[in-house]
Amino acid sequence: MADADLGTTAPASRVPVDRYARWTGLIVGALVGRWLSSLDHGDGVLYAIPAFGLCAVAGVLAGDALTPPAQGTVRTAGLAPRRVRAYVPPRVTWLLLALAGALVVLLVVAGAIASPDDLGHAGRALTATCRGVTQSATPWPGFHYGLPMLSSLAVATAACGWSLRRIATRPGDEQSRRDRSLAVVAAWGLVVSASLLGAASTASGALMDISCDGTAGTVANAVLWPLATLALATVPWTLVTVCSPRASWGRRSAAGDRRRRALRRPGSGERR
């Protein structure tokens, strides 16, 4: 059964906590990503991307946990249980789910055809042979890079799914639930789109360095380029949404003040 909705939002003194937590997650992610990108002979950017996304997710979830739920005038609530899908943006969510599916398929296929590099690191290179000549290109998003990406996606999915469920079922007003669900979806989308951008662009670059890929390489690039472009277009939206919580706190607080004044007004027809 759904809990009773509450009329106002968190106290103004606690509002900046959400924004500070999100920015802290992004800053920590940038620092960790910069350190990781220097690893693996300078090719650690494929480690840095999922790490940055996970830090962004942690910042959003921390901000949500540190911000108290809305408190104020109690309104009646329906008997139907609240569902997560009622608060997430449907079109964006479906787009991100499709990108996540494409990322998983790409990493699994890339891992299956990957080969060791010159240093013997498994799953880090793409090797092809034609006319008696063997060509190799690296980095390649095989399991050397793919497993950390898949692990970060699994962790982010579990954490964000739990958070969305928590937001949908706890007390609060409807708009607050939608705003916070949007932020969580955007943080998860940052992990998905940034990882897909890194994996698709890296795979495409490796294929273009090899002349023995033939028709298969041409078809693969025809798929990878649109995926990378779509991911590139999605990343800025996720970043902006994570960085800028919706500035509706003031409007809601003002609405709460008006409701409280109406309760104190004689003959208003509302219960005290």
Q: Is residue 244 part of a domain?
A: yes
Q: Is residue 7 part of a domain?
A: no
Phi and psi angles of residue 135, each rounded to the nearest 5 degrees, phi first? -120, 145
Q: Which residue has the tokens 């569902």?
A: 83
User: Looking at the 3D structure of the chain, how many domains does it have?
Assistant: 1
Domain that holds residue 35: 12-264
Tens-digit pLDDT profile for residues 143-153: 999 999 999 99
Tens-digit pLDDT profile for residues 182-228: 999 999 999 999 999 999 999 999 999 888 777 888 899 999 999 99
Which secondary-structure segment (H or E) carries 102? helix 90-113
Q: Is residue 46 part of a domain?
A: yes
* Cα 210 from Cα 129, distance rounded (Å): 10
Q: Is residue 224 part of a domain?
A: yes
* Residue count of the chain: 272
Q: Is residue 16 part of a domain?
A: yes
Stretches where the chain sits below pLDDT 50 are 1-13, 72-74, 76, 247-258, 267-272
Q: Quick check: 144 and 124 in contact, CB under 8 A?
A: yes
- Residues in CB range of 16: below 8 A, 6 or more apart: none
Work out the widest C-alpha separation in the chain, in whole angstroms. 93
Q: Is residue 5 part of a domain?
A: no
Q: Is residue 171 part of a domain?
A: yes
Q: Is residue 109 part of a domain?
A: yes
